[in-house]
Amino acid sequence: MIRVFPFFLKAAWVTIQLSVLSCLLGLACGALGAAARLSRSSALRLAGATYVSVIRGTPALIQVFILYFGGPQVGIQLEAFEAGVLALGFNIGAYMTETMRGAIIAVDRGQTEAARTLGLSRFETFRSVTLPQALRLMVRPLGVNINALIKGTALVAAISVVELTYTAQRYIGSTYKPFEMFFLAGAIYMAIIYVTGLGVNWLDRRVALK
């Protein structure tokens, strides 16, 4: 048990890296996706809606497999870790698109009207009136997305990224202790999620209204 512990810590670090990188990619995709879905251009709206429905309509595991195993067929050769980050990031980005879009349209229409009436442009209104209010509405639901993302990183065990779930499976063979191995992996996931939750709470308080 003690013998495997360092390997689990190393694996936890991989899980954290996967989570952070795909979270950043997801936030970028979410922002672009939400911008597209709320755009005045119907082509962009369609592109955004297609992204969301394709990603949400298919299993994340299939998305990981398509990128990792299907990629080379079209000339995209990726390391397992890279494929994992990209697939997880694009995946959570679709959910984040909806979270961000929802927060933006939840800001009272009267806010936009008041700003536009003063003479602010659409962009100025978005930047100084809508966005600051939408941000505080989106912190908690984005926290829910991130929670799902962290647990979802377990999927990339299927393409042999040496993260927590993969490591737990690997040491069952030598220890014959599946319960302990999975329990240990689970406990580490929970610790990561707990700390992330603290971060989300802190951010939520920071952006809260006076």
Which positions touch another protein (CB under 8 A)?
Answer: 108, 110-111, 113-122, 124, 128-129, 132-133, 136, 209-210
- Give the C-alpha separation, 108 to 105, whole Å: 8
Residue with tokens 């209010």: 133
- Give the C-alpha separation, 114 to 9, whole Å: 53
Contact predicate 87/64, CB 8 Å? yes
Give 41 or 77: the residue with its C-beta nearer to another protein: 41
Q: How many CB atoms lie within 10 A of CB 31?
A: 14
Give 136 or 177: the residue with its C-beta nearer to another protein: 136
Cα–Cα distances in angstroms (integers) from residue 104 to residues 22, 129, 187, in the given order: 23, 11, 36
Shortest distance, position 132 Cβ to another protein, whole Å = 5
Give 24 or 118: the residue with its C-beta nearer to another protein: 118
Of the candidates 189, 206, 194, the one whose C-alpha atom is nearest the C-alpha of residue 18 is 189
Q: What is the DSSP letter of 126?
A: I
Give 18 or 100: the residue with its C-beta nearer to another protein: 100
- Give the C-alpha separation, 178 to 146, whole Å: 28
Give 15 or 125: the residue with its C-beta nearer to another protein: 125
Shortest distance, position 125 Cβ to another protein, whole Å = 10
Give 135 or 193: the residue with its C-beta nearer to another protein: 135
Shortest distance, position 99 Cβ to another protein, whole Å = 19
Shortest distance, position 105 Cβ to another protein, whole Å = 17
Shortest distance, position 115 Cβ to another protein, whole Å = 8
Shortest distance, position 142 Cβ to another protein, whole Å = 18
Contact predicate 29/93, CB 8 Å? yes
